[in-house]
Structure 1
């Protein structure tokens, strides 16, 4: 069996041992206080002086308090230092593995492991483990004192209860380990999914899938809440069984033994009974010390141990950059969540996959329900735009794009190409001039309608952790597999996906690490096609990929242009080959040039 990786440094191990010793010293002093208290009461009731005993009791009480205070201070200090050391160790391991880790793990899960995970580990190791070990050693120590100073027969009888303590911990930890592990995994996945969604929020908004993803997160959050409640319910049940069963049984047995020894005359008569009786009952209470910590074990210990297993597996991993073994990290894309997506899409208020995904038009919007197909799809007249406090970007710009036309707009960086496309999308309003989309004028009240008429593909779009299928179906939850393959075929990605061993269920990794830049961009293009919007806005879609991938995307766009209207912003000459018209943007205005 492989040796377990140590998660504590030398200082941490010393702190744990010190905590064990201080716990035992504290128990020893408490036991001495109990025995001395019995003799003090017996002396008091017999009318003898107790000044010496009171001094001893005061010294022992101060000793118990001092040991506990010192133990807590050491645990808290080492908890922080060891957590920082463990976080550094994890970070260096990530650096050693390199970016290949993103094919197997999501950034959100790594962050959760390095923050909440390490905190729970060190709260368990430095803040709990030492005192727990010390309390587990308490019963033998207390029983030895009971045998030496009170009654060996009572100590021998109560010795039968000692094995029950580790047995109870072992049995109940096995019973709750599955629930605890499931709860931890769900919290880890939920944290990863939230970070993934926040990182890709712009993409979700542009493709109209933010509401669906929000419902998935809400459902996953509710599932995590229920899992946490089940874990708490199991812990409370365990504590109830321990309190009613073990604690009550032990106290009853201790009281019965006292009564038996008193009635049998083994402890004498009169005031002489007080010392052994008080000491016996006090030491019996000290035997409950391990059980008092069991409640904390199921709250702190189980969580800490679960995170320990996670961190040890991670530190023991040796991911290869050459051929990473991709483990599907489905996150929210479990079968249950896939069913949730289907139920959401089938609900009355969810638009079907083959709709234009246009939101309902409010009564105060100047948009009619019908559009005139004879009108240009896009018409811009006298557009002027400048950012607050900046120089004019667009100056008296005019643009007309017919339905089914492919128009390419080129120009140097900083000339305002992205600003122009944001105005067409409805994300920006011009300072002056008119923008028409299918004959409808852009106003502050109908910007959502404008946004819903087109799909925007930017230079870098976010590919979500999960699978190729989940990335596509977040746009159209009810899309058939045939429809998914058809969209992949249109963007020249079908053959490559079919060559993957898992096809559509291939895990893409964090930010599409398992895909090439061109494959990720074509996957984003297929996702835009699934939105079924007639207007595709492409903002430098080939600027950050290799020439082969660029050629595949340009060929795909040539096929897509047969049924869609394309407006392409680019600075690459190769992207202009198939365009119907090429416009050049300079000094805020457009002029037509040859596409040759």
Structure 2
């Protein structure tokens, strides 16, 4: 079987807010993006077009409305020219005026419809981008979360997707209709006076070239600005989630300065974007003023010379303004699209990370899924090695068996790799070498969904999600009724506490289970694992936050279910596991000894030392 690639992690950096060091003391450190890090190329325009494709039908209507408005706008100077001519006696003044009013009103109605559909489509594009990004974020391999800050990931869902919206509302579709007005005006101006048109185009060409050059800089700076916003969001998330720790340590002012520095960085990049963007306005203004002055000066001379009539000059000036107006839209569209592509690059960067696959490639599925038997499952570790980083092994040649229906404990010093064993069974990671088998079948031959459906897992930090108590309990067992919920709550000695809430099971908890004590949160997490009736229970320090009375009650509850399940429990407090069927002692990633509590006291110095320190020898 091919060796699993090492989970490569970046060199030392700041750890993400709320991120835990993977068990075994692996010291997974965070890659904190900095302004001087290599730039990731901005997203190509086809990436933006991909988001627009699903709204193509509405976009067709928007384009039709834009073209209709452009056509009616182009008709107006011609009608004005006829009105001026009719004053001299040729043509019907009332008819031309009626057509002019109709053209103005028609253009306004088409513009209103276009704007509404455009705004709605822009919101639809943002919705699609956010759904796609969130769906992908929640399917990323666990190793990705070890190296990225939560706040930065959240900012991609929020501010970056919003910038994609500006690509539409900022003039992308308007620029299409404006292009029609621009070309139509050019054609009309050719027939009126080619000489005046040549002077106009010379000024416009210089302005357009300048805008294109400047906008490329805006795209790069926008990407850097959004990275800075991501770091700011990470800093705020770190401060809010750890506010108690920060305040208790007297570090409030330092943390404010730290987040303030990130805010200043975001400000600096924003100012640089604004500085470059500010160059576009004088360029646009110079194009308008230069063209207008040239046309008035040369056009007035040609009228005086009898080459051009006053009505034609007025018509030419109106077409000039109509040509310059979409030119401004074009400048705006280039700027907003460039900025959106800078933000879109950050979205595409995450979408390019391969999601965790439920099914492995065909050559890894060497055996059919094992059937679940009564009394739990058997787990076998055979020569398991694992590395978070290429230069440091967390587990080395780990081999032992967890018999079906037994309770097996894993103990050892901090950093020995205990919790990593559970993470490997959950398939958050795969072994670098060796294999882990469930009832004789390599876990890598089973879909992750099958593996996890057979496991009740309680993490070391016992996280509780924001929402109701019921939401937390039935997270992995949505069909569980109130009777079952109360049974598991009673089993972990939490039912009386829940009944203190007026809403009972429907009581709302805050972020990270705010409203419950640390021990209560841990018991709720254990109840969430018990309610699944999974044949395998993985318990990572399940009694770490419990008092001695509750610890005894919970230990008894675990023992009561162990007869019909397999239990693999990691513990620092040996009192929790002295009655386990077998205890595995890990030391520096290796199995140092296996036996019962009594056997290990007699045969293993490390276990004896651990027991003596906890007054259990």
Q: TM-score, normalised by structure 2?
A: 0.50
Residue 274 (structure 1) aligned to one of 307, 310, 324: 310
* 1:577 to 2:611 alignment: yes
Q: Which whole-Å CA distance do the structure 1 matches of 2:108 and 2:609 have between them? A: 78
Q: Which whole-Å CA distance do the structure 2 matches of 1:121 and 1:99 have between them? A: 28
C-alpha displacement of 1:311: 1.8
Residue 239 (structure 1) aligned to one of 266, 281, 287: 281
In structure 1, runs of 5+ residues without a counterpart are: 268-272, 327-411, 416-456, 462-516, 522-539, 554-572, 583-593
- Matches of residues 192-591 of structure 1 in structure 2 within 5 Å? 192-243=234-285, 245-267=286-308, 273-293=309-329, 296-297=332-333, 300-318=336-354, 542=572, 577-579=611-613
**1:501-527 alpha-carbon deviations (Å, 9 max, x no partner):** xxxxxxxxxxxxxxxx99xx9xxxxxx
| Change in 2 beyond 3 A, CA 1:259/1:323 | farther
| Change in 2 beyond 3 A, CA 1:299/1:578 | farther
Aligned-residue CA RMSD (Å): 4.2
Match in the other structure for 2:7: none
Give yes or no for contact 2:211–2:283 (8 Å, CA) kept in 1.
no
Q: Which whole-Å CA distance do the structure 2 matches of 1:309 and 1:56 have between them? A: 48
Match in the other structure for 1:435: none
Match in the other structure for 1:158: 200
- Matches of residues 93-104 of structure 1 in structure 2 within 5 Å? 93-104=136-147
C-alpha displacement of 1:59: 1.0
Match in the other structure for 2:372: none
Give yes or no for contact 1:19–1:75 (8 Å, CA) kept in 2.
yes
Match in the other structure for 2:214: 172
Match in the other structure for 2:152: 109
Match in the other structure for 1:119: 162
Aligned length: 356
Residue 80 (structure 2) aligned to one of 6, 14, 37: 37
C-alpha displacement of 1:201: 2.4
C-alpha displacement of 1:549: 9.5
C-alpha displacement of 1:50: 0.8
| Change in 2 beyond 3 A, CA 1:203/1:72 | same
Q: Which whole-Å CA distance do the structure 1 matches of 2:176 and 2:389 have between them? A: 40
Q: Which whole-Å CA distance do the structure 2 matches of 1:133 and 1:168 have between them? A: 20
Q: Which whole-Å CA distance do the structure 2 matches of 1:182 and 1:123 have between them? A: 18
* 1:133 to 2:176 alignment: yes
C-alpha displacement of 1:190: 0.7
C-alpha displacement of 1:94: 2.1
| Change in 2 beyond 3 A, CA 1:229/1:218 | same
**1:419-468 alpha-carbon deviations (Å, 9 max, x no partner):** xxxxxxxxxxxxxxxxxxxxxxxxxxxxxxxxxxxxxx99999xxxxxxx
SS at match of 1:266: coil
Match in the other structure for 2:537: none
| Change in 2 beyond 3 A, CA 1:226/1:10 | closer
* 1:185 to 2:227 alignment: yes
**1:102-135 alpha-carbon deviations (Å, 9 max, x no partner):** 1343221222111221121023136531112332
In structure 2, runs of 5+ residues without a counterpart are: 1-42, 358-385, 391-490, 495-517, 523-539, 545-569, 578-582, 590-606
Match in the other structure for 1:502: none
Q: Which whole-Å CA distance do the structure 2 matches of 1:218 and 1:84 have between them? A: 31
Give yes or no for contact 1:184–1:303 (8 Å, CA) kept in 2.
no
Q: TM-score, normalised by structure 1?
A: 0.52
C-alpha displacement of 1:90: 1.2
Give yes or no for contact 1:183–1:227 (8 Å, CA) kept in 2.
yes
Q: Which whole-Å CA distance do the structure 2 matches of 1:260 and 1:60 have between them? A: 32
Match in the other structure for 2:105: 62
Give yes or no for contact 1:4–1:312 (8 Å, CA) kept in 2.
no
Give yes or no for contact 1:39–1:274 (8 Å, CA) kept in 2.
no
